[in-house]
Structure 1
Amino acid sequence: MLTSEKQLKASIKALSVLMEAIEAPVNPDIPAMLVKANRRKVQQKIDAIQAEIDEYQSLKTLAVSEIKVNSLVDLLKAPIRYRISKGETVDAFAKEVSVNKRQILRYEEKAYENCSIPTLMQILEKIGMHIEGHIE
């Protein structure tokens, strides 16, 4: 998951490089099966990067009230999605939730998988996010 403009720019550059690679002429000495397998892998990387770019760009225009939580993974990523949709820097978000900026960066690096439940609950409460739903 992209969490900053810097990552967005790097991803766009990486996407461009991969697009050039997939469109490059094929060395006739390389077996067709190997070429096909390599292009399939490159295309998978392109698709994954494009999906991350699309998600980040859509979050930038998404209203906070439209953030959906359909799984535990979504719940863990909710603070990141909130911050991006509000257009907040990590520094501003850290101040808002009363957590050290470096700690927020560590949480975002792991998509909050390394965040304790009490701390996650504290962060969600401070940003006014309330979870409602049911278990299936």
Structure 2
Amino acid sequence: MSTATKDIAKGGDCPDCSRINEVLHRVGDRWSVLIVISLAQYGTLRFNELKRHLGISQRMLSLTLRELERDGLVNRTYHPTIPPKVEYSLTELGKSFREPVQALGLWALKNLPNIDAAREGYDAEQEDKKSA
């Protein structure tokens, strides 16, 4: 375990926090997580298959895939056919990210009723405050 990892685990200083923030910004956004989940579930997918699975705009999918490729999580394979064919799959690094992403997804599914109840309670409380 690195010194920085030990410091973070102990709640101490974090000399690499800005770099960690960069990584979490990318891998923690909803589209990145959903793309990783889709590629983990289905394996190699073409651009339009991902677009259909996720209900994401073409621009957002393109931007997110480019960043995931830059970060080494996704492979982009171009096939010079007519029409051109581009496929995406997880790299080894991307595959290592499956476990925490799937755990997060399972946590969300398991806790949806609790989250819904908390939201309803909060909204009702806010409504009461407005009425008072």
TM-score range, shorter chain: under 0.3
TM-score, length-normalised on structure 1? 0.25
Q: Please state which structure has a larger fraction of its residues in strand.
A: 2
